[in-house]
Amino acid sequence: MIVYFDAIRKAGSIREAARRLNVASSAVNRQLLKLEAELGTPLFERLSSGLRLTHAGSTFARHANEVLQDAERVRSELDSMRGLVTGHVEIAAVEALISNLLPNVLTRVREVYPRFTIGVNIMGSSSIPDALVGGEVDMGIAFNLERSSELQQLSLSRFPLGAAMRPDHH
Protein backbone atom coordinates (compact mmCIF):
# COMPACT_ATOMS: atom_id res chain seq x y z
CA MET A 1 0.00 0.00 0.00
CA ILE A 2 2.82 2.42 0.81
CA VAL A 3 4.28 1.98 -2.67
CA TYR A 4 0.90 2.84 -4.21
CA PHE A 5 0.48 5.85 -1.91
CA ASP A 6 3.96 7.11 -2.84
CA ALA A 7 3.29 6.64 -6.55
CA ILE A 8 0.03 8.61 -6.25
CA ARG A 9 1.81 11.36 -4.30
CA LYS A 10 4.53 11.65 -6.93
CA ALA A 11 2.19 11.43 -9.92
CA GLY A 12 -0.59 13.66 -8.56
CA SER A 13 -3.29 11.32 -9.86
CA ILE A 14 -4.41 7.73 -9.52
CA ARG A 15 -4.45 7.18 -13.28
CA GLU A 16 -0.85 8.39 -13.75
CA ALA A 17 0.32 6.40 -10.70
CA ALA A 18 -1.29 3.28 -12.16
CA ARG A 19 0.41 3.89 -15.49
CA ARG A 20 3.80 4.28 -13.80
CA LEU A 21 3.24 1.15 -11.70
CA ASN A 22 1.88 -0.76 -14.70
CA VAL A 23 -1.29 -1.80 -12.87
CA ALA A 24 -4.98 -1.02 -13.24
CA SER A 25 -6.26 2.33 -11.92
CA SER A 26 -8.97 0.49 -10.00
CA ALA A 27 -6.32 -1.51 -8.10
CA VAL A 28 -4.46 1.66 -7.13
CA ASN A 29 -7.71 3.35 -6.06
CA ARG A 30 -8.73 0.31 -3.97
CA GLN A 31 -5.37 0.31 -2.18
CA LEU A 32 -5.63 4.03 -1.45
CA LEU A 33 -9.18 3.66 -0.11
CA LYS A 34 -8.08 0.71 2.03
CA LEU A 35 -5.14 2.69 3.45
CA GLU A 36 -7.32 5.71 4.20
CA ALA A 37 -9.87 3.43 5.92
CA GLU A 38 -7.12 1.81 8.04
CA LEU A 39 -5.77 5.20 9.05
CA GLY A 40 -9.23 6.66 9.54
CA THR A 41 -8.53 9.82 7.56
CA PRO A 42 -8.30 10.96 3.95
CA LEU A 43 -4.73 11.32 2.69
CA PHE A 44 -5.58 13.28 -0.45
CA GLU A 45 -8.00 16.03 -1.37
CA ARG A 46 -9.81 15.00 -4.53
CA LEU A 47 -9.74 18.03 -6.84
CA SER A 48 -10.82 18.40 -10.45
CA SER A 49 -7.15 19.07 -11.31
CA GLY A 50 -5.91 15.95 -9.52
CA LEU A 51 -5.04 14.93 -5.99
CA ARG A 52 -3.38 17.03 -3.31
CA LEU A 53 -2.06 15.77 0.01
CA THR A 54 -4.08 16.62 3.10
CA HIS A 55 -2.23 17.54 6.30
CA ALA A 56 -2.53 13.89 7.37
CA GLY A 57 -1.27 12.84 3.92
CA SER A 58 1.80 15.07 4.26
CA THR A 59 2.56 13.56 7.66
CA PHE A 60 2.10 10.05 6.29
CA ALA A 61 4.28 10.89 3.26
CA ARG A 62 7.25 11.78 5.46
CA HIS A 63 7.03 8.44 7.24
CA ALA A 64 6.36 6.53 4.01
CA ASN A 65 9.52 8.03 2.48
CA GLU A 66 11.56 6.82 5.43
CA VAL A 67 10.08 3.32 5.21
CA LEU A 68 10.66 3.10 1.45
CA GLN A 69 14.24 4.38 1.77
CA ASP A 70 14.93 1.93 4.60
CA ALA A 71 13.51 -0.93 2.52
CA GLU A 72 15.74 0.04 -0.41
CA ARG A 73 18.80 0.22 1.87
CA VAL A 74 18.07 -3.23 3.28
CA ARG A 75 17.53 -4.65 -0.22
CA SER A 76 20.78 -3.06 -1.37
CA GLU A 77 22.72 -4.35 1.64
CA LEU A 78 21.39 -7.88 1.14
CA ASP A 79 22.28 -7.74 -2.56
CA SER A 80 25.77 -6.48 -1.66
CA MET A 81 26.20 -9.39 0.74
CA ARG A 82 25.45 -11.71 -2.20
CA GLY A 83 27.96 -9.82 -4.33
CA LEU A 84 25.33 -8.07 -6.41
CA VAL A 85 25.46 -4.31 -6.61
CA THR A 86 21.96 -3.13 -7.44
CA GLY A 87 19.69 -0.29 -6.52
CA HIS A 88 18.05 2.87 -7.69
CA VAL A 89 19.19 6.47 -7.31
CA GLU A 90 17.08 9.54 -8.02
CA ILE A 91 19.14 12.56 -9.00
CA ALA A 92 17.96 16.17 -9.12
CA ALA A 93 19.99 18.40 -11.40
CA VAL A 94 19.75 21.86 -12.88
CA GLU A 95 18.89 21.92 -16.56
CA ALA A 96 22.28 23.28 -17.59
CA LEU A 97 23.95 20.00 -16.58
CA ILE A 98 21.57 17.69 -18.39
CA SER A 99 23.02 17.98 -21.89
CA ASN A 100 26.78 17.59 -21.29
CA LEU A 101 27.98 16.65 -17.83
CA LEU A 102 25.30 14.26 -16.62
CA PRO A 103 25.17 11.91 -19.65
CA ASN A 104 28.92 11.25 -19.35
CA VAL A 105 28.63 10.54 -15.62
CA LEU A 106 25.60 8.28 -16.09
CA THR A 107 27.32 6.33 -18.87
CA ARG A 108 30.29 5.67 -16.58
CA VAL A 109 28.04 4.66 -13.66
CA ARG A 110 26.17 2.19 -15.90
CA GLU A 111 29.48 0.66 -17.02
CA VAL A 112 30.61 0.13 -13.42
CA TYR A 113 27.16 -0.72 -11.96
CA PRO A 114 25.04 -2.22 -14.75
CA ARG A 115 22.30 -3.37 -12.34
CA PHE A 116 21.74 0.14 -10.99
CA THR A 117 18.88 2.27 -12.28
CA ILE A 118 19.01 6.04 -12.20
CA GLY A 119 16.22 8.59 -12.41
CA VAL A 120 16.93 12.20 -13.33
CA ASN A 121 14.70 15.09 -12.22
CA ILE A 122 15.23 18.56 -13.69
CA MET A 123 14.83 21.22 -10.99
CA GLY A 124 15.98 24.70 -10.16
CA SER A 125 18.86 25.07 -7.71
CA SER A 126 16.56 26.50 -5.04
CA SER A 127 14.20 23.45 -5.20
CA ILE A 128 16.86 20.78 -4.94
CA PRO A 129 17.61 21.05 -1.17
CA ASP A 130 13.91 20.64 -0.31
CA ALA A 131 13.66 17.61 -2.62
CA LEU A 132 16.68 16.07 -0.86
CA VAL A 133 15.39 16.74 2.64
CA GLY A 134 11.92 15.50 1.64
CA GLY A 135 13.34 12.23 0.36
CA GLU A 136 12.13 12.77 -3.21
CA VAL A 137 15.69 12.47 -4.56
CA ASP A 138 18.89 10.89 -3.30
CA MET A 139 21.42 13.29 -4.79
CA GLY A 140 21.34 16.86 -6.04
CA ILE A 141 23.59 18.72 -8.43
CA ALA A 142 23.05 22.47 -8.49
CA PHE A 143 24.67 25.88 -8.57
CA ASN A 144 25.34 28.07 -5.54
CA LEU A 145 23.69 25.91 -2.87
CA GLU A 146 23.47 27.31 0.63
CA ARG A 147 24.94 25.18 3.40
CA SER A 148 22.43 23.21 5.44
CA SER A 149 22.79 21.08 8.55
CA GLU A 150 20.33 18.61 7.00
CA LEU A 151 22.50 17.94 3.94
CA GLN A 152 26.05 16.84 3.27
CA GLN A 153 28.01 18.44 0.46
CA LEU A 154 30.07 15.77 -1.28
CA SER A 155 31.86 17.85 -3.86
CA LEU A 156 32.36 21.42 -4.98
CA SER A 157 33.57 22.48 -8.40
CA ARG A 158 34.42 25.78 -9.98
CA PHE A 159 33.49 26.45 -13.58
CA PRO A 160 34.81 29.18 -15.86
CA LEU A 161 32.12 31.67 -16.81
CA GLY A 162 32.16 33.32 -20.19
CA ALA A 163 30.18 36.05 -21.92
CA ALA A 164 29.58 36.35 -25.66
CA MET A 165 28.42 39.20 -27.88
CA ARG A 166 28.46 40.24 -31.51
CA PRO A 167 31.75 41.82 -32.68
CA ASP A 168 29.97 45.06 -33.61
CA HIS A 169 28.34 45.45 -30.15
CA HIS A 170 29.75 48.35 -28.07
Choosing from 50, 82, 114, the residue where a domain stops is: 82
Question: Nearest to residue 65, comparing CAs of 117, 131, 126, 154?
Answer: 131
| Domain identity same for 6 and 60 | yes
Choosing from 28, 61, 82, the residue where a domain stops is: 82
What pLDDT score does 81 carry? 64
What pLDDT score does 159 carry? 65
| Domain identity same for 3 and 62 | yes
pLDDT level of residue 74 (50, 70, 90 thresholds): confident
What is the 8-class DSSP label of residue 97? Answer: G
Instruction: Please give the residue range of the domain that contains residue 28.
Output: 1-82
The torsion of the CA quartet 55, 56, 60, 62, rounded to 10 degrees, works out to 20
| Domain identity same for 46 and 117 | no
Q: How far, in Å, CA of 150 to CA of 130, rounded? A: 10
The pLDDT tens digits for 21-66 are: 999 999 999 999 999 999 999 999 999 888 999 999 999 998 888 8
Mean predicted confidence (pLDDT) in 123-142: 88
Domain containing 111 — which CATH number? 3.40.190.10
| Domain identity same for 65 and 1 | yes
Residue 18 pLDDT greater than 90, yes or no: yes
The count of structural domains within the chain is 2
Mean predicted confidence (pLDDT) in 104-121: 83
Q: With pLDDT > 90 as the criterion, what percentage of the chain qualifies?
A: 31
| Domain identity same for 14 and 64 | yes
Report the length, in residues, of the chain: 170
Domain containing 59 — which CATH number? 1.10.10.10
Q: Which of 34-48, 69-83, 112-126 has the lowest mean pLDDT?
A: 69-83
Choosing from 31, 55, 82, the residue where a domain stops is: 82
pTM recorded for the entire structure: 0.53
Residue 117 pLDDT greater than 80, yes or no: yes
pLDDT level of residue 84 (50, 70, 90 thresholds): low
What pLDDT score does 25 carry? 92
Report yes or no on 13 lying in a domain.
yes
| Domain identity same for 57 and 90 | no
Report yes or no on 158 lying in a domain.
no
Is 72 within 8 Å of 89 (Cβ atoms)? no
Q: With pLDDT > 70 as the criterion, what percentage of the chain qualifies?
A: 94
Beta-strand ranges (E) seen in 9-153 are 44-47, 50-53, 87-93, 116-122, 139-141
| Domain identity same for 68 and 33 | yes
- Amino acid identity for residue 147 in this structure: R
